[in-house]
């Protein structure tokens, strides 16, 4: 890690967010969900599968999965062993199969086989927390939501937008700082930033356009 000089005082978080948003637009103008999907159901399943797994791996698995079980009704009647085999390569396949089957059955029983565009209803589905619900709302229904995955949590903390580790607390703090119409786009942009530059072990601070507004990177100089 390069040496740190004395750290200048940065403006408060709301002002820094206003400065960072256009920079994220410059860096990631085409940011969007990287999970392939045709509808809300497919996105729900893909997001469940993406836990502890890359989106690229999920995208390799889902075509055969959705060809075999094209909707909640078909998935609700799926043989668990067959489902587990189809999703095995995504990891934690037993728990994921249980969640997907449970969600499919709940949708059939409670919602007529349709994914409800309501956060409070989505989080009642097996295997669906606020992160998954916000992904589905934002990218399948166009309803703004902050998605706090490991990347968003890490980048938000380094930017000094939160001191919390709990994803729900981070979500609510970011909701206060980021304009509502930007919530979904902001989430995708920060996820990409966490993957490409603000990585967990070796953040590329000196290559980062956000460096002047980032408490974590303040004072860094070339070694």
Question: Tell me, what's the pLDDT at 112?
Answer: 97
Q: What is the CATH number of the domain that holds 17?
A: 1.10.1670.10
Rounded average pLDDT over 185-210: 95
Residue 5 has pLDDT above 70, yes or no: no
Chosen domain end from 114, 132, 158:
114
Rounded average pLDDT over 192-216: 94
In a domain, 139, yes or no: no
Confidence of residue 59 (pLDDT cuts 50, 70, 90): very high
Confidence of residue 8 (pLDDT cuts 50, 70, 90): low
Closest by CA to 48, choosing from 116, 98, 115, 117, is: 98
Using CA atoms, how far apart are residues 80 and 99, in angstroms rounded to an integer?
Answer: 11
Sorted by sequence, the CB contacts under 8 Å of residue 197 that are 6+ apart come out as 203, 204, 207, 208
In a domain, 131, yes or no: no
Give me the chain's average pLDDT, please. Answer: 94
Q: What is the CATH number of the domain that holds 52?
A: 1.10.340.30
In a domain, 97, yes or no: yes
Same domain, 48 and 91: yes
Same domain, 48 and 101: yes
Using CA atoms, how far apart are residues 65 and 122, in angstroms rounded to an integer?
Answer: 22
Same domain, 24 and 69: no
In a domain, 6, yes or no: no
Q: Are 131 and 148 in contact (CB under 8 A)?
A: yes
Question: Tell me, what's the pLDDT at 221?
Answer: 42
Question: Tell me, what's the pLDDT at 6?
Answer: 52
Question: Tell me, what's the pLDDT at 10?
Answer: 86
Same domain, 44 and 110: yes
Q: Cite the active site residues.
A: 131, 149
pLDDT tens for residues 150-167? 999 999 999 999 999 999
Beta bridge partner(s), residue 220:
4
Same domain, 106 and 161: no
Q: How many helices (H) and strands (E) does the chain have?
A: 11, 0
Same domain, 24 and 67: no
Same domain, 54 and 107: yes
In a domain, 99, yes or no: yes
Domain of residue 61: give its range.
40-114
Chosen domain end from 92, 114, 136:
114
Question: Tell me, what's the pLDDT at 218?
Answer: 79
Rounded average pLDDT over 121-147: 97
User: What's the half-sphere exposure (Cβ side, CA atoms, 13 Å) at 70?
Assistant: 1
Q: What are phi and psi of 36, to 5 degrees?
A: -65, 135
Rounded average pLDDT over 28-41: 96
In a domain, 222, yes or no: no
Our count of domains for the chain comes to: 2
In a domain, 127, yes or no: no
Same domain, 44 and 107: yes
Question: Tell me, what's the pLDDT at 219?
Answer: 67
pLDDT tens for residues 81-130? 999 999 999 999 999 999 999 999 999 999 999 999 999 999 999 999 99
Q: Are 133 and 123 in contact (CB under 8 A)?
A: yes
Question: Tell me, what's the pLDDT at 223?
Answer: 37
């Amino acid at each position: 890690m390069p040496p740190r000089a004395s750290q200048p005082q940065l403006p408060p978080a709301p002002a820094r967010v206003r400065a960072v948003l256009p920079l994220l637009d410059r860096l990631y103008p085409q940011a969007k969900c990287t999970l392939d999907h045709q509808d809300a159901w497919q996105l729900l399943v893909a997001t469940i599968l993406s836990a502890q797994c890359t989106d690229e791996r999920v995208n390799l698995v889902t075509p055969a999965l959705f060809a075999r079980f094209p909707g909640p009704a078909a998935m609700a009647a799926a043989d668990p062993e067959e489902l587990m085999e189809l999703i095995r390569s995504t990891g934690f396949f037993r728990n994921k199969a249980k969640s997907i089957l449970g969600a499919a059955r709940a949708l059939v029983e409670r919602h007529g086989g349709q994914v409800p565009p309501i956060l409070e209803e989505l989080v009642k589905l097996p295997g669906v927390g606020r992160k998954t619900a916000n992904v589905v709302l934002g990218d399948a229904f166009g309803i703004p939501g902050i998605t706090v995955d490991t990347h968003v949590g890490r980048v938000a903390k380094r930017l000094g937008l939160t001191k919390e580790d709990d994803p729900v607390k981070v979500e609510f703090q970011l909701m206060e700082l980021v304009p509502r119409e930007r919530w979904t786009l902001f989430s995708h942009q920060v996820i990409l930033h966490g993957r490409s530059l603000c990585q967990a072990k070796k953040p590329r601070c000196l290559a980062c356009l956000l460096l002047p507004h980032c408490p974590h990177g303040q004072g860094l100089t070339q070694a």
